[in-house]
Amino acid sequence: MKAIELLPLGGLAAASAQDLAARLSRHVVVPCRVAAAPAWEARALPGREQLDADALLGDLEARASREAVLVGLTDRDIAIPIFTFVFGRARLGGGAALVSLARLDPVFYGLPPDPAHTARRAEVEVRHELGHLAGLAHCPDGSCLMSFAGNVERVDARGPLFCRSCREALPAWLRPPSEMS
């Protein structure tokens, strides 16, 4: 059975990653743990201050194994060349995902810090990317975890659960503990 390993990248506070692991554990039956932060090269997109999400994702995928899916966490803003930014990145059915907390933090928008709100958004975004790793495409139901979010308000609009249709397509390792008992 797979485990979910969170990798804090580039100085992201370990406490944030631990908190996120605890939140995720409530929703998945597999173990969620924080792995040791690897040495990594922060590569920015040419001409932009944002990190190259695809390059980072490639590094993470190289480390993934059959026993665990990896989720890289960074507090740096990330993007891919065709988009002005992305919240996260994962390939459908892949072995690793990347999530940036930068635009999930109210401070990015000039608002006061709100760690609880940021943590909730991070949890939602990580579960969304895990859904992509499980092969789920975007869902038209705006309250489903798999709905597309092009701005942070849409992230907030996602509910705490997958919709019925998406839930039925979840693999065993991504199902909640209550369903497996």
Partner 1 sequence: MSTPRGPEPGRTALRILVVDDEAIVRDSLLAWFRQDGHQVEVAASGKEALHLAAAARHDIALLDIKMPGMDGLELQQRLAAACPDLTIVLMTAYASVESAVKAMKAGAYDYIIKPFDPDDLSALIRRAAEHRSLRAENLRLKRSLDEVAAPPPLLGTSAAMRRVLELVHTVAASDSTVLVTGESGTGKELVARAIHAASPRRYNPLVVVNCGALSEGILESELFGHEAGAFTGARARHKGKFEAAEGGTAFLDEIGEVSPKVQVELLRVLEEKVVTRLGGTAPVPVDFRVVAATNRNLQEAVREGRFREDLFWRLNVFTIELPSLRERPEDVPLLAEHFLSRFSQAMSRKAMALSPATLEALRSYPWPGNVRELQNAVERAVVVSHGPVIEPDDLPLHVTGAPARPGPGSLALAEKAHVQSVLDAAGWNISRAARILEVDRVTLYNKIKRYELKKPS
Cβ-based burial of 28 (10 A; exposed 0-12, middle 13-18, buried ≥19): buried
> Which residues would be at the binding site for partner 1 (CB under 8 A)?
54, 79-86, 91-94, 132, 134-141, 148, 150-151, 154, 165, 169
Q: Which two tokens stand for residue 49?
A: 């201050």
Phi/psi for 50 (5° steps) reads -85, 150
Q: In the bound complex, what is the minimum distance in angstroms from residue 124's beta carbon to partner 1?
A: 16
* Distance in angstroms (rounded) separating the CA atoms of residues 81 and 73: 20
Q: Shortest approach of partner 1 to residue 44 CB, angstroms? A: 14
In angstroms, give the least distance from the CB of 28 to partner 1: 18
Side-chain half-sphere exposure of 76, counting CA atoms within 13 A: 20
The length of the chain is 181
> Strand pairing of 88-90 and 96-100?
antiparallel
Beta bridge partners of 97: 71, 90
| Shortest CB 7 distance to partner 1, Å | 21
Q: Which of 41, 67, 129, 168 is catalytic?
A: 129
Is the CB of 37 or the CB of 169 nearer to partner 1? Answer: 169
Q: Which is nearer to partner 1, 67 or 153 (CB)?
A: 153
Residue 17 vs 144, nearer CB to partner 1: 144
Which is nearer to partner 1, 122 or 136 (by Cβ)?
136
Give the C-alpha separation, 88 to 131, whole Å: 12
As given in the structure block, the two tokens for residue 81 are 């060349």
Query: Is 41 part of the annotated catalytic residue set?
Result: no
Which helix (DSSP H) or strand (DSSP E) does residue 88 occupy? Answer: strand 88-90
The residues annotated as belonging to the active site are: 129
